[in-house]
């Protein structure tokens, strides 16, 4: 039986990081975290190998040469280019387990092209823009060295990266709203994941 990759997406400050952490801690879901790589600096409170593998651009180039990059994207920030990518480095074994990933809409499309539509299960989180902006500002203020310009750049870029046209092109039909109590969104997504795993199990009985 082939496993699934449940892939969490949403604009910045939509709450997807909190949702990811919630799902990761639900041991009964048996979702193995799919850890992505990034060349951006590590933030306060993050740990290498938990949120991301924080690597140099030299390491990224080595993985490119070894043809282990599944998907890659680069953001031109006020601090220089930051790369985020997924590598086929041996951590993914779909014959044995299901995975939980997090990324962008474009990275989801590339993952789907690589693994196939039957493997990828999108978890798209939506939050009203005003709420997102409030959350983003609060989070940035809590950093030792706030990067407000980068926060604004990312906020505006999301409008294009997550346009309705691109959401439809990616084949995403189910959306999970996070505009009130995040616990409600936790519960809705958890129930959906359980349903999908049950369907997969019944199909292969």
pLDDT digits (tens, 9 = 90+) for 69-86: 999 989 888 899 999 999
pLDDT at 205: 59
Portion of the chain with pLDDT greater than 70, in percent: 98
| End-to-end Cα distance, the chain | 9
Whether the predicted pLDDT of 38 surpasses 90: yes
Q: Mean pLDDT over residues 48-71, rounded?
A: 93
Find the helix packing angle between 129-141 and 148-161, rounded to 10°: 150
pLDDT at 148: 93
Q: Mean pLDDT over residues 107-111, rounded?
A: 93
Whether the predicted pLDDT of 31 surpasses 70: yes
pLDDT band with cut points at 50, 70 and 90 for residue 176: very high
Portion of the chain with pLDDT greater than 90, in percent: 78
Question: Is the CB of residue 105 less than 8 Å from the CB of residue 170?
Answer: yes
pLDDT band with cut points at 50, 70 and 90 for residue 109: very high
pLDDT band with cut points at 50, 70 and 90 for residue 120: very high
The pLDDT tens digits for 122-155 are 999 999 999 999 999 998 999 989 999 989 998 9
Whether the predicted pLDDT of 1 surpasses 70: no
Question: Is the CB of residue 15 less than 8 Å from the CB of residue 135?
Answer: yes
Tokens of 102: 């997090």
**Rounded Cα gap, residues 200 and 8, in angstroms:** 19
Q: Across all residues in the chain, what is the average pLDDT?
A: 92
Question: Is the CB of residue 96 less than 8 Å from the CB of residue 72?
Answer: no
């Amino acid at each position: 039986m082939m496993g699934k990759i449940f892939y969490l997406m949403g604009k910045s400050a939509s709450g997807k990081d909190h949702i990811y952490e919630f799902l990761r801690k639900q041991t009964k879901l048996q979702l193995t975290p799919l850890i992505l790589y990034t060349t951006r600096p590590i933030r306060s409170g993050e740990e290498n190998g938990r949120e991301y593998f924080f690597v140099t651009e030299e390491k990224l180039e080595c993985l490119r040469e070894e043809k282990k990059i599944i998907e890659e994207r680069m953001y031109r920030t006020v601090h220089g280019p930051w790369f985020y990518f997924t590598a086929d480095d041996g951590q993914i074994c779909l014959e044995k387990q299901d995975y939980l990933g997090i990324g962008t809409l474009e990275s989801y499309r590339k993952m789907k092209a690589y693994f196939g539509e039957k493997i990828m299960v999108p978890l798209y989180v939506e939050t009203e823009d005003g709420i997102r902006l409030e959350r983003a500002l609060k989070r940035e203020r809590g950093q030792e060295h706030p990067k407000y310009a980068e926060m604004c750049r990312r906020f505006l870029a999301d409008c294009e990266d997550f346009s309705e046209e691109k959401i439809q092109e990616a084949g995403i039909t189910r959306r999970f709203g996070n505009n009130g109590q995040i616990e409600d969104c936790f519960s809705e997504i958890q129930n959906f994941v359980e349903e999908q795993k049950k369907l997969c199990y019944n199909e292969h009985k």
